[in-house]
């Protein structure tokens, strides 16, 4: 069996609000399960994430303050 190279990219929540349960169940958990599944199958997995600290929701929140 050939091992695959899998890239999993995870979106971070916007910085305009507090982290809540929806962040975990909406982006972190599904990506983590997917990555773990492929690791258990012997595939090479790279799981990366980023942030959006300068998006529209952040600007709107800053203007409200």
Q: Provide the whole-model pTM.
A: 0.66
Cα three-residue angle 63-26-49, rounded to 5 degrees: 75
C-alpha to C-alpha distance for 16 and 57, rounded to whole angstroms: 6
How many domains are contained in the chain?
1
> How much is the pLDDT for 39?
98
Mean pLDDT, rounded, for 16-32 = 80
Answer yes or no: is pLDDT of 6 > 90: yes
Mean pLDDT, rounded, for 26-46 = 94
C-alpha to C-alpha distance for 60 and 56, rounded to whole angstroms: 6
Residue 3: phi and psi, rounded to 5, are -80, 140
Answer yes or no: is pLDDT of 51 > 90: no
64 or 57, greater pLDDT: 64
Range of the domain at 43: 5-64
> How much is the pLDDT for 52?
64
Torsion of CA 32, 35, 39, 41, to 10 degrees: 110
């Amino acid at each position: 069996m050939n091992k695959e190279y899998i890239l999993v990219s995870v979106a971070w929540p916007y910085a305009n609000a507090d982290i809540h349960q929806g962040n975990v169940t909406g982006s972190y958990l599904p990506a983590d399960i997917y990555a773990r599944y492929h690791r258990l199958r012997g595939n090479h997995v790279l799981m990366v994430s980023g942030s959006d600290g300068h998006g529209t929701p952040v600007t709107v929140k800053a203007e409200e303050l």
